Amino acid sequence: MPTTAPLLPHPSGSRWLNRTVAGAGITSALGDFCYETTTVILPGFLAVLGVPAAALGLIEGAADAVASFTKMIAGHVADKLGHRKALVLVGYALTPVGQALIALAAGWPLLLAGRLLSWFGKGLRGPLRDAIVVQAVSEETRGRAFGFHRAADTLGAVAGPLLGVVLLGWAQGLPAHDAAWPFRLVLWLSLVPGALAVLAFLLLVRDPQHSINPALQLMHSLRTLPLRFKRYLGAVGLFGIGDFSHSLLILAATTLLTPLMGVVRAAQVAGLLYVGRNVVQVLGSYPIGALADRVGHRPLLLAGYALGVLTATLTALVFWRGSAGVPALAGIFFVAGLYVATQEALESTVTAAMVPTERLATSYGALGTVNGVAKFVSSAAVGLAWSLHSPAAGFALAAVLMLAGTIALARSR
């Protein structure tokens, strides 16, 4: 027989910004400060190590795939046995360990190992942290709570890359025995906020009591998820097959700007453009969540998907033209920030409205798995199309697939 613990009552709508929501936001900000620093400098680091674009696509795609499968297992274990907070803490602790491996890398194998370990930790913590947050607020305020959380999460993704770009410029003026040393220095410094993220979650976040079921079987749990949720996952997955890693967007900007600025300066400017994308995401996440609480979460998610199609289309067009200045690239990163803000704030809230509470972590794991597998396919496909044919072909392929997912979501009910 299932063993259950009583659910804690939801707080009132006026108390949606409680200790758990705030603590999860602070933790996510510090965690993103750590690993997003790698995201913004990794393309330049690979360039000085002589690693091709196809390898970047495969590394990022494989990392997303590992994170996605980890989310599935972690969600199931949490619904079955509990221990959500402990698993989240382990997940946050693995990120700085992966960063250290990347800092030591001299080629793609150790880069892959470090990225896989960091993303394993990301997959372990993601669905469980979201389940904790969604149970800490009322149904009527989920959009605001997740919008706030994603804004805080992305705040670290702004501060980390911004400081990383500044430190990269500073390190260029220091004595170094090779071109990779400035990148390694930034990676080592990023370990500090990674350690602070673990401490913040431990001290600030309270895990609400929730039902557990020791007899729960993973395949049975997945088979009995609501049909409408399975159809929703199909649309999310189809969009995700085109939703390439934005490391490739950074690489695109670096590639287009290198003839004008040189590789290091181009990597810095591309990093700043990515910071700008994250600023847009920070500023847009809470208003998008609050608007979704009023007009509906699914329609607003559909609009965000349409912006994703526009991002890929514009990137393909600038490569087709053969050149792009900083203003045109800034416009692309701006649209990218809006669509990611919508996607990350609302995919989880749409999920929560479709599934029973006792299957929430498993459902978030399924959502993460679908997204991760799709992004592995997308990042690998775009990277390979870039290397084998042209960057324009890779991003055009992404646009077509994202459009198909948007249409699928529009047709679902």
**How far is 392 from 163, CA to CA, in rounded Å?**
31
| Residue whose structure tokens are 């997912």 | 405
In the numeric block, which tokens belong to residue 167? 């430190």
In the numeric block, which tokens belong to residue 116? 């896989």
pLDDT of residue 278: 80
**How far is 245 from 278, CA to CA, in rounded Å?**
14
Rg of the Cα atoms in the chain: 20
**How far is 127 from 133, CA to CA, in rounded Å?**
10
For 348-362, b/e burial (b = at least 16 CB within 10 A) is bbbbbebbeebbbbb
| Residue whose structure tokens are 């009995």 | 224
In the numeric block, which tokens belong to residue 300? 């607003």
Is residue 123 a contact partner of residue 69, using CB atoms and an 8 Å limit? yes
Q: What is the pLDDT of residues 236-272, one digit of tens each?
A: 999 999 888 787 888 888 888 888 877 778 887 888 8
pLDDT of residue 401: 92
| Residue whose structure tokens are 């646009």 | 399
In the numeric block, which tokens belong to residue 189? 């410094």
Q: 323: number of CA atoms within 13 Å, CB side?
A: 3
pLDDT of residue 213: 59
**How far is 360 from 396, CA to CA, in rounded Å?**
35
Cα dihedral 38, 43, 49, 50 in deg (nearest 10): 160
- How many CB atoms sit inside 10 A of residue 151's CB? 24
- How many CB atoms sit inside 10 A of residue 226's CB? 13
**How far is 152 from 134, CA to CA, in rounded Å?**
16
**How far is 143 from 280, CA to CA, in rounded Å?**
18
Is residue 384 a contact partner of residue 276, using CB atoms and an 8 Å limit? no
**How far is 41 from 111, CA to CA, in rounded Å?**
13
Given the candidates 3.30.2310.20, 1.10.290.10, 1.20.1250.20, 2.170.190.11, the CATH classification of the domain at 16-203+227-411 is 1.20.1250.20
**How far is 194 from 192, CA to CA, in rounded Å?**
5
pLDDT of residue 212: 58
Q: How far is CA 303 from CA 306, 314, 352, 407, in A?
A: 5, 17, 19, 11
361 closest CA partner among 231, 238, 213, 235? 213
273 closest CA partner among 198, 335, 216, 316? 335
User: Which residue positions in the chain have pLDDT lower than 50?
Assistant: 1-14
197 three-state secondary structure: helix
pLDDT of residue 76: 67
Q: Which helix (H) or strand (E) holds 204?
A: helix 191-204
50 three-state secondary structure: coil
